[in-house]
A and B are shown apart, each in its own frame.
Chain A
Amino acid sequence: GAGVSQSPSNKVTEKGKDVELRCDPISGHTALYWYRQSLGQGLEFLIYFQGNSAPDKSGLPSDRFSAERTGGSVSTLTIQRTQQEDSAVYLCASSFGRGNYGYTFGSGTRLTVV
């Protein structure tokens, strides 16, 4: 597609429920990244995919968080048993190769856990 697409745009969920966030990167971009942005804060790295492999998942905050990428394209970030501290904007980005020309970001998913 023309840009990075994320869905849903907003998600409200009850504490303890599982949620899935979707990212559709720019066609042909081999690298895909997930970041988390808490209110008024900077971007916190979560996980990076090169193709379908995740060479760096060092930013995932706990084993409740997981992500996968299929067909070298769409990625899904899953949060199990959501907690209130998971409330944040989850941003996805994609790039060619190493990303030395920068990443292209989606508009994010605002997750609110009540």
Chain B
Amino acid sequence: AQTVTQSQPEMSVQEAETVTLSCTYDTSESDYYLFWYKQPPSRQMILVIRQEAYKQQNATENRFSVNFQKAAKSFSLKISDSQLGDAAMYFCASIQGAQKLVFGQGTRLTINP
């Protein structure tokens, strides 16, 4: 069974600084995909970034990038130049085979002006 663990319930960062959110996962498959989702107070889950396990290159999307360490089963999210609009709950998630997306418990990110 796949599991996803986020060990940081809450994080805070000063506006314009960089913050890293941690995530570890466990899977028995070699073919899987990893995601970070953002959930603002509007409740809608927004896909931030996606990583294919067979690709060694870390995914990047503008100010968002990941550090994918396959052997360590680690998938952290780095947010550069933090903005007030980045404040939200962030969820790490994985999917393997034909199974469903499994989520971590989330990290609440606060941006201090």
Contact = CB atoms under 8 A, between A and B. Distances in A.
B75 interface: no
Task: Give the contact-size bracket for chain A.
Answer: 20 to 34
A108 interface: yes
Contacts of B102: 45
A111 interface: no
Nearest to B97: A98
Interface in A84-114: 89, 91, 93, 98-108, 110
B100 A42 contact: no
Task: Give the contact-size bracket for chain B.
Answer: 20 to 34
Interface string B37-72: 100001111110010100000000000000000000
Contacts of A104: 47
B100 A33 contact: yes
A105 B104 CA distance: 16
A48 B100 contact: yes
